[in-house]
């Protein structure tokens, strides 16, 4: 409660009033709490989501490659069991 009071007082004493009072309060509360500002946290979250999407895409590509290699291996194994490729007459 004390932090909120200090933030409201600093908003009142601000000579250049901010365009967005809620953003001002969020940022000041984050500073009082020793946290990153709201915008910085939002940017970090967006970066993390982007990295997650890239990693998920990489996983999908690796799964597709693995499936392809397994199919090739299965086909090779099948040829070995059948006696190799059939010779043409």
Burial degree of 51 (CB within 10 A; 0-12, 13-18, 19+): exposed
CA 54 – CA 79 distance, rounded (Å): 38
Position with higher pLDDT, 1 vs 32? 1
- Say whether pTM exceeds 0.75: no
Residues of the chain above pLDDT 90, percent: 31
Q: pLDDT digits over 42-80, tens only?
A: 889 999 999 999 999 999 999 999 999 999 998 888 887
For residue 36, is pLDDT > 90? no
CB atoms within 10 A of CB 38: 15
């Amino acid at each position: 409660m004390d932090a909120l009071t200090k933030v409201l007082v600093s908003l009142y004493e601000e000579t250049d009033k901010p365009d967005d009072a809620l953003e001002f309060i969020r940022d000041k509360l984050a500073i009082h709490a020793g946290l990153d500002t709201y915008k910085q946290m939002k940017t970090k979250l967006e970066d993390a989501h982007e990295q997650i999407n890239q990693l998920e895409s990489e996983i999908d590509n690796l799964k597709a490659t693995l499936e392809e290699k397994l199919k090739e291996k299965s086909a090779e194994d099948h040829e070995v069991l059948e006696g190799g490729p059939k010779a043409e007459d």
